[in-house]
Each structure stands twice: as C-alpha cells, then as structure tokens.
Structure 1
Amino acid sequence: MIDWNAGKGWLTAGGKRLEWACWGQRDAGPVIVLLHEGLGCLALWRDFPEALARATGLGVFAFSRANYGQSDAGDLPFPIDYMTRQARDVLPEVLDQIGAAHYLLMGHSDGATIAAEYAGRVEDFRVRGIVLMAPHVFTEPMGLAEIARAGAAFGPEMAARMGKYHRDPEATFRGWNDAWLNPDFAAWDVSEVIDYLRVPALVIQGVDDQYGTMKQVAEFETRSYAPVDVLALEDCRHSPQFDQPGAVLDAVRFFTARLMAHEAAQPEGV
C-alpha cells in the first residue's frame, strides 16, 4: 500500500514503475482517482486535483500511466485495445495499492474511456461512481481527422513543449497517435461496456470538442442501466477541466455529495 501521507511517490502496476501524487484525506469518503488523457500525465492536471479535493472534501489520487510523465517507458506500439488493457490489467493493481475502501473514477478523454471500461468490465464493488470528461467509446471521422492533423504537426517544437512534462515526448506522442491512426482503429468500438454499468455516471462534454461529439454522450444516456447525469458545456472544447473549471468542480461536488448522501441513507447491509 502507498504511503498517502507522503503526498507523492512511486508504485508498480502492470510491471511498470508509475509516478503518483495525492491530495486531501484518503478516509474522507470515496477517493477520486484521476485518469489522464492520451497525451496527459500527472503534471498536466496542473492545479485541478487540489481544487477538486477542496471542492469535494474528498481525497484525490492521480498517476501517470506507462509511457507518460516520468513513469516507465511503455511497450510500443500501443495495441488497438490499449485502453481496455489499461482498465483490465493495470488499474486494478493501482486501486489495490491506494488502499481506500471506496473509489470514484474520474477520467478525461482516454482516461474517461478507461474509467468506463473498468466500471463495465471489472467487478469491483469499491467503485461507487464514474465521472467521464470527453469520453469516447467509438471513433468519429472528425476526431480521427483532428488526430491526423496533430500527427502531421508533430515536430521538434511540439516535442520540446511536451518534454517539459514527459521524459520521452516522442514515444509518448507516437504511442497515442500511431494507435489512433492505425487503419484498423477506425472500427474500434467499446460501447458495449455501457450495457454493463451498474454505478451512477456524470458525463461532461464540451459542445465545441474537436475530438468527439454529443453522440458519445447520447450512447451513455440511452444504454446505461444506472443513472447518467449529463453536463454539456458551451464555450468548451476537449478539456472541460481547464475550459470551464468552475462548472466542472460544481458538477462533481454536487454529484459526489448526492452519491454519498444516497449511500448514507441505505439500510445497513444494502
């Protein structure tokens, strides 16, 4: 188990050494586990985790997956099902080492997909809810076109910017970009996991998201057995936590408070 009081450190999951940090108190309620986007990492959450801990009163935990931030190098090329593998093979080991009684998974982009896949594929009664920012469960032509443009634009300048946060920026970029631009990825679709969700979800989507549309959100609304709250944000692109931080924090605070109140009202043993 990690030393929460240390505030940051290293853990091993999926055979890789991963950096982590935490905020708030582990025993305040369900720990919010942040899962970053396809080019994100621990440092790129910036001050959002601390603000999230203050807004909700809950403990917040974030880590960098392999091939991101200062964590170990990942195995390249990424397979098409790399998000499924992260949910099935790596995230359970991370949660075990955090050592909390209950969790709320909160992901952005690829991280949102990993959160949804974990909740839909892995039977883990510690997970009480999920918050998904800009999730994708199938490909859309406009998103693939944007990823292709990013691939064409990648060069020394972008690598230098990414190098401030990732120890091997080219490997980080290529792992993500090459997987999405694999011709076979056009048929990628994991929306079936929604049919198996049994915990409440909050889905947050920017209406101006350049990588995905409200069709992704509609899939959760129409297919989930469990309750789904939706926050559609105007003047917001692919990163709601930075484009509309106040609205995101308010929505997550309300979602977590309602979730905890509902659980507290349940008869013992339910």
Structure 2
Amino acid sequence: MNVTDLAVPLGDGVRVQAQRLSQENNGRPVLVFLHESLGNVALWKQFPLRLAEATGLDALVYERRGYGTSSDEPLPRPYDYLEQEGRVWLPRLLDALEIDEVILVGHSDGGSIALVAAAVLGDRVKGLITMAAHTWADHLTLAGIRDMRRRYTEEGIREKLMRYHGGRTDALFHAWQDIWLDEGFQRSLNFASWLDAIQCPAMIIQGEDDEYGVPEQVTRIVEGIGTQARPVFMSETGHSPHLQQPDRVLLLICDFLRVEIDQKSANFG
C-alpha cells in the first residue's frame, strides 16, 4: 500500500489536505472517507487502511475546510454548510484528482455530507456507507452537543483535540457548537430532495447506543433513498462504530460491497 500526502488546490483560494492510499486498482472505485464534525485524517485511526486492504480498493481520506492543515473556512458557518461540502467541494476534489467512480464512507457530519454528494455525483457513486449520519437536529443530537460543551473544558476534551487541530481547536469546536445550537439552522435542515436523488446501493449504520442521534435518523434516510438502501443498527455501539467495533464494521462493509455492488456491477471487481 502506497501512502501519499497531498495538498490539493480547489479554486477560490481553497486548498485541502488529503491522503491517498494506493495499490493496483485496475480502474475500480475509490473509497472516499468523510470525517466527523471534530475529525480529521488522523482521527480515522487505522480504519481506512484496513478497509482498503480488505477490499483491494484505493482510498482517499481528506480534511475539509477549517480542519487539520486545509484552508480556513468562512465563519460563522452558513446554514447550508453541509450541502456546500457535498455539492461543491467534494466534487471539486474528485475532479482535481481525476477520480471518477467512488464509494463514499461518511461518519456523523461526514455521513450527512456523503448523502448530499451521492445525490449530486449521480452514477459516479457506486456505493454509499454512512455511520451516525443526521438529517435533522433531534433531541439527542442537541443534548449531546450541549453536554460536549461541558466536557470540552471539564473533562480534558479540549486538550485531546489540540493534538490534532492545534491552534484551530477552539474555533473549530465553537463553529460546530454554534451552528447546531442555532434555531434557524435547526429549522433549515431538510435533506428530502437529496435523499430522493440517491440512486446507488446504500448502507445506513447507527449504533444502538448512539448518544447523538435517535433511531429515526436511520429509518428516515432509508425511506428517503428507497429500496436500494438498507438500515443497520449495531448493538453495544455508540456514535463511532468504526472505532468502537472496527472488526464488525469492516465485515459489514465488505459484505455490503460484495453483495450489493460486486455482483450487480460489471465495473466493480
């Protein structure tokens, strides 16, 4: 597996940091990983590498604007910041790297962005996997965010995040808090049109003990996408299935790709 770090210009003064995991791909789709609201490349740990090795696919892991060493993002965040990332910036990144066919793997905010990207990119997306994606601000989402505000200072979360985000940590944390606790943002969230446009096979995963989302997040996403989507609820698992139960998630995704994509697409495998 060849690992290459990239700084990719996307126009309009924006540059994003990315990591490419490459092997003998033979024109197969590329796994694209979209991180959570406080994540970056490093916080995925070994999961992208393990999934790439298990599937034999190349992978791309990147940091959105405002994260890691990518360009700054405009603050405060606009109400449509999730849509912008899926509609504008991810397609630009794929075009810049000349990546045509992809399988999107998104966690939390990254899962929500992956839903938008799957709708926008059409048949370029051969598969969609989300973990703890959210399409509205439910009571668990808001309670979890409010509790994190306390934990950020009282339980050392700030110091842990500074290892990954450095001097950006406070700005990044408050950007996340401020937008999700904004009542105007909460009222504006509406993913119905994006879900209806998704045509690829989709696996929508959530931990049964997810502290940031109710089970209806999954069922509404699946209903919105239609028959090509399937729900997966993981027992004894919280908000980060890929970190809390990595072996189980790897098996789930490999089985999903084998059954839903490999057997149905002449362009895969």
Match of residue 209 from structure 2? 208
Deviation by residue 1:52-103 (Cα, 9 ceiling, x = unmatched): 1111111111001111112222211111211011111111111112323310
Residue number among 9, 13, 16 corresponding to 1:18 in the alignment: 16
* Shift in CA distance, 44/200, structure 1 to aligned 2, threshold 3 Å: same
Match of residue 135 from structure 2? 137
Match of residue 103 from structure 2? 104
Pair 1:59 & 2:65 matched: no
Pair 1:261 & 2:263 matched: yes
Structure 1: tracts of 5 or more residues without a match: none
Q: Partners of 1:13 and 1:149 in 2: how far apart? A: 36
Structure 2: tracts of 5 or more residues without a match: none
**Alignment of structure 1 residues 1-270 onto 2, 5 Å:** 7-13=4-10, 15-25=13-23, 27-28=25-26, 29-120=28-119, 122-155=120-153, 157-167=156-166, 168-192=168-192, 193-258=194-259, 259-264=261-266
Q: Counterpart of 2:204 in structure 1: which amino acid?
A: V
Q: Partners of 2:94 and 2:262 in 1: how far apart? A: 20
Q: Which moved more, 1:204-213 or 1:146-155?
A: 146-155
Identity of aligned residues (%): 33
The answer as to whether partners of 1:131 and 1:202 remain within 8 angstroms in 2 is yes
Q: Which moved more, 1:204-213 or 1:221-230?
A: 221-230
In the superposition, the TM-score normalised over structure 2's length comes to 0.91
Aligned structure 1 segments of 4 or more residues deviating by more than 3 angstroms:
none
* Shift in CA distance, 196/35, structure 1 to aligned 2, threshold 3 Å: same
Shift of residue 246, structure 1, vs aligned partner: 1.0
Q: Counterpart of 1:175 in structure 2: which amino acid?
A: A
Shift of residue 136, structure 1, vs aligned partner: 0.4
Corresponding residue pairs, total: 262
Q: Partners of 1:238 and 1:162 in 2: how far apart? A: 17
Shift of residue 226, structure 1, vs aligned partner: 4.7
CA RMSD of the aligned region, Å? Answer: 2.0
Q: Partners of 2:116 and 2:267 in 1: how far apart? A: 28
Q: Partners of 1:73 and 1:104 in 2: how far apart? A: 27
The answer as to whether partners of 2:31 and 2:103 remain within 8 angstroms in 1 is yes
The answer as to whether partners of 2:123 and 2:199 remain within 8 angstroms in 1 is no
Deviation by residue 1:153-189 (Cα, 9 ceiling, x = unmatched): 3339433211111131111111111111112123243
Shift of residue 230, structure 1, vs aligned partner: 2.1
Secondary structure of 2:60's counterpart equals strand
The answer as to whether partners of 2:6 and 2:20 remain within 8 angstroms in 1 is no
Q: Partners of 2:10 and 2:173 in 1: how far apart? A: 21
Shift of residue 204, structure 1, vs aligned partner: 0.9
Shift of residue 35, structure 1, vs aligned partner: 0.2
In the superposition, the TM-score normalised over structure 1's length comes to 0.90
Q: Partners of 1:173 and 1:132 in 2: how far apart? A: 22
Q: Partners of 1:65 and 1:21 in 2: how far apart? A: 12
